[in-house]
Structure 1
C-alpha cells in the first residue's frame, strides 16, 4: 500500500507572487526540469472560486477581518499544503480517479481551514508525480491572522492522522506517512540526488544489457569452436586411416618377379608402377601429416579461444551479478530516502517544502533565540523588582537612631 505525502509551508507577503507564477505556470521555470510544459494544459484548480491574483485575494480576506492591530510586515500571509503519494499509486488510477482523489483531499482541507480562507487547490499533472498545492489564508476561528496558532504540533499530527482515514473511507488504498523516529537522522533525498541515482541505475542497466549481449555472443563462439573441434577430430581420424591403408599396400603389395632376358621389360614396368605408387603414398602421407598438424594447431587455437570465452563469460556473469547487487542496494537506499522524505518531521515540519525554507528556518531560529533572550531579561527584571519591593518595607520598619548629645 502507498503512503500519503502531506507537507505544509508558510509564505510571507513577498513570496506570494512567485508561488502564483509557479502554480499557474505563468512562465517557464528553468530551475525545475521535471516540468513538462506540453502537459501543463492538463493542470486544473479544484477550488470553485480560484483566483488569478493571489495577492489581491489574500489582501481582501485580511481586510475583511477588521483587525485592530496592524498586520506586521513579516507576518505569514498564506499557508500551503502539498498532497501527493508515490508514482505507483497514481499509475494504477485513471485521470478521473486521480481527480476524485485530490477533490476528496481538497474537501477535507477546506473544512479544516474554512472555505472563506481558501485561495487555490491547484493540481499539477505535468510533473513526474501528480500532486496538489492547497493554498489558504491562515485565519484562526476567532478571526486573527496567525499561522502558528493553526498549525500547532498537535494540529499537524491530527491532520496527518485524519486525512488518510478520510481518503480510505472514500475508497483509496493509502496509509498515513511514516513518522521519523526521535533521534534519527533528519535527512531526505533532494531532487538532484534522486535524479543522479536514477541516472546511475539506468547506466547500470545499460551495462548489464551490454554484458549480457557480449555473453550471448561468447556463448555462440564457444558452441561454434566446439563444433569445429569435433569436425577436425573426425577429419584427422579419416586421414590417419588413409595413411594406414597406403602404408599397408606398400608393405603387403605383390613382390616383383625375378627378372631375366625375356621379361625384364615387364618387370621394369611393374617396378616403375610400384615405385610410383610408393612415391604417391609417401606424398599423400606427408600432405596428410601436414594438414593434420595444421588442423591440430587450429584445434588448439579454438580450445584457447574457448577457454578465453569461458573466462570472459565468468567475468561478465560476475559483473552482472555485482551490478544487480549494487542496483538492489541503490533501490533500498532510495526507498529509505523516499520514506524519510515522506515522514512528518516533528521539529522542522513547518519548514520542509521548498529550498527557500532553509532561510525561513534560520529566521525562525533567530526569532526563537531573541524570544528566549527577551524572556530571560524579563525574568531578571522581575526578580530585581521583587527584591526592591522586599527591601522598601524592611527599611521602613527600622527604628530611628537617637541623636547624640553635645557636651558643653
Structure 2
C-alpha cells in the first residue's frame, strides 16, 4: 500500500485568481465532485470575500514596497495537500479534521498566519485534500514568492512537512538530485491515453516516479477529463504553465 504525502505548490498571478477561487468555492461544481457532498467541505480560515479580494486585501495590508506591483507578479501561492488515496479515504471525518488542523498549524508557523488567506478541506471528491492559499509577503514587506520559496526552502519544506505527517501514516517519497520535470499536460495526456483512475495511477510504472509530487491525479479520472473545461474557466495556460517536480527510483510499495 502506498502511503506518501502530497505537498504540491503552484504560483498564481492576478489573472488566475478568479477562476481558481470559483473552483475552490464550488461556484460551479466540477464533474469529479459528488454534489451531495459539497456541503461537507469546510473552511479553516474565515471567508470574507472571494479569493481574489482576500489576496488583494492582504497585499494592501502587508505590502510596504514603494513600487507598483507588476500585473504578472505572483500574488498567491497555492498548495494541494493530501496523501495516497488508499490512506486518505480510510480516515474518519474526525481524523481528517485533526489532519487539517495540523496542516494549518504547520503552515501558519512556517509562513505566518496573516499570510494564509484560505485553507479549504474538500470532502466532496474521492480523495480528501486541502487547498491552502497564502500571499508570499516577506518579513520586510516585499511580495516575493521567488525569495520565500527558493530551491532550498522547497526541499526543506518537503522534508519538514513529511515529518509532521508521519503520525497520520504518511511519509515522504524518495528525494535526491536525480530528478526531472514532467509538465502537467504531458502527465494528463499519459493518463487519458491509458484510461487510469486514481488507484490504478498509483500502480502504474510512471506513478512511482511522480508519487511524491501528485496533484490532480489523486482526484480521479473525472477531474482529468474535466481539465480542459477548468483550464478555459481560468486561463488557457492555467495548467500548461505549471510544472511538477518528480523523483525517480521510488520503489514499489
TM-score, scaled relative to structure 2? 0.76
> Could you say what the CA RMSD is over the residues aligned between the two structures, in angstroms?
2.9
Count of paired positions: 218
Deviations 1:59-82 (A, max 9, x none): 222122232111111101111011
1:63 paired with 2:64, answer no
Shift of 1:165: 0.9
For 1:161-240, list aligned pairs within 5 A: 161-168=159-166, 171-179=167-175, 182=178, 186=182, 189-190=187-188, 192-193=191-192, 196-198=195-197
Shift of 1:195: 7.3
Shift of 1:180: 6.9
Deviations 1:205-246 (A, max 9, x none): xxxxxxxxxxxxxxxxxxxxxxxxxxxxxxxxxxxxxxxxxx
Corresponding residue for 1:4?
5
Corresponding residue for 1:105?
103
Corresponding residue for 2:114?
116
Corresponding residue for 2:212?
343
Structure showing the higher strand proportion among its residues: 2
Corresponding residue for 1:90?
88
Distance across 2 between alignment mates of 1:176 and 1:115:
25
1:20 paired with 2:21, answer yes
Deviations 1:150-187 (A, max 9, x none): 1101100111000111222xx32110133376265747
Given the superposition, is the C-alpha separation of residues 40 and 180 from structure 1 closer, same or farther in structure 2, using an over 3 Å criterion? farther
Larger RCO, structure (CA 8 Å, separation 6 or more): 2
Distance across 2 between alignment mates of 1:25 and 1:332:
26
Corresponding residue for 1:53?
50
Shift of 1:57: 1.8
Deviations 1:247-296 (A, max 9, x none): xxxxxxxxxxxxxxxxxxxxxxxxxxxxxxxxxxxxxxxxxxxxxxxxxx
Corresponding residue for 1:222?
none
SS of residue in 1 equivalent to 2:195: helix
SS of residue in 1 equivalent to 2:7: strand
Corresponding residue for 2:241?
359
Deviations 1:66-105 (A, max 9, x none): 3211111110111101101111112332111011112101
Given the superposition, is the C-alpha separation of residues 141 and 185 from structure 1 closer, same or farther in structure 2, using an over 3 Å criterion? closer
2:125 counterpart (127, 130, 133): 127
Distance across 1 between alignment mates of 2:240 and 2:34:
27
2:36 counterpart (22, 35, 38): 38
Structure 2 portions without partners, runs of 5+: 215-230, 232-236, 244-253
- On the 8 A contact 2:10/2:242 being kept in 1, the answer is no
SS of residue in 2 equivalent to 1:135: strand
Distance across 2 between alignment mates of 1:173 and 1:46:
22
Distance across 2 between alignment mates of 1:97 and 1:333:
23
Shift of 1:141: 1.4
Look at both structures and tell me which one has the larger radius of gyration over its CA atoms.
Answer: 1
Distance across 1 between alignment mates of 2:13 and 2:135:
11
Corresponding residue for 2:227?
none
Structure showing the higher helix proportion among its residues: 1
Distance across 2 between alignment mates of 1:189 and 1:122:
25
Corresponding residue for 2:250?
none
2:148 counterpart (150, 170, 173): 150
SS of residue in 1 equivalent to 2:205: helix
Given the superposition, is the C-alpha separation of residues 183 and 75 from structure 1 closer, same or farther in structure 2, using an over 3 Å criterion? closer
Distance across 2 between alignment mates of 1:11 and 1:122:
17
- On the 8 A contact 1:120/1:134 being kept in 2, the answer is yes
Given the superposition, is the C-alpha separation of residues 167 and 62 from structure 1 closer, same or farther in structure 2, using an over 3 Å criterion? same
- On the 8 A contact 2:81/2:130 being kept in 1, the answer is yes
- On the 8 A contact 1:5/1:177 being kept in 2, the answer is no
